[in-house]
Amino acid sequence: MRIVLLGAPGAGKGTQAKKLIEKYAIPQISTGDILRKAVADGTPLGKEAKAVMDRGELVPDKIVLGLVEERLQQDDCKNGYILDGFPRNTAQAEALDTMLASMGAPLTIALSVDVDKDDLMKRLTGRRTCRNCQQMYNVYFSPSGKEGVCDKCSGELIQRNDDKEETIKKRLDVYEAQTAPLIDYYGKKGILKSVSGVGSIDEIFVRVCAALG
């Protein structure tokens, strides 16, 4: 199963992807996670990407496409994968289609997780991520047992630089302008399904699984 997860920042794509990994035993490929790791490791690519990410803008297509192409060729992608946060614009979607056509393995489904804008703001400003294991929490909806500490590994919970209010507004604008058109793009290809991203994580997961069939 080769899945693209669509949805605004904060729609819960990453959370659902983590549950799908377990159910389908396929990897999650999050370009955001890959880029954040490059930033944390201080690689040349990370240095180039950091300022753009902190502003809430998109990293140049050329960089992201190179990362994805390399990742998709790894062994664990043979039985499928979940693309989370990629593609982010039409140019990336077209490049992905070309890439997958040459591999003879087109996308199975594009699944859109839909949440309205007010809810997204609360989810994003309240989001905290474990510095160590990347587990996510939300101070409004799903706090950790002890404030600032990860329930799973006791790591420190941090607010991502791009989860600050100014950056969030920018990220949502970028989403509307550049990423939302992909809903139409995949709709026209006949592989789009949409689910409501409102409710508990488990309720949403039931919808996601039903949509995947």
**Binding residues for ligand AMP (CB under 6 A):** 9, 31-32, 35, 52-53, 56-59, 64, 85-86, 88, 92, 162, 171
CB of 171 to ligand AMP, least distance (A): 5
Quick check: is 2 catalytic? no
Q: Are strands 28-30 and 109-114 parallel, antiparallel or unpaired?
A: unpaired
| Cα angle for residues 91, 96, 102 (degrees, 5° grid) | 130
Residue recorded with tokens 């950091």: 50
Catalytic residue among 2, 36, 127, 207: 127
Quick check: is 55 catalytic? no
Distances (CA, A) of 152 to 61, 125, 126, 149: 35, 22, 19, 9
44: number of Cβ within 10 Å? 8
The helix (H) or strand (E) run that includes residue 71 is: helix 61-72
Q: Which is nearer to ligand AMP, 12 or 85 (CB)?
A: 85
Q: Which is nearer to ligand AMP, 123 or 207 (CB)?
A: 123
CB of 163 to ligand AMP, least distance (A): 9
Catalytic residue among 2, 13, 123, 207: 13
Q: Which is nearer to ligand AMP, 73 or 154 (CB)?
A: 73
CA dihedral 40, 69, 12, 58 (to 10 degrees): 60
Cβ-proximal residue to ligand AMP, closest one: 32
Catalytic residues: 13, 88, 127, 160, 171
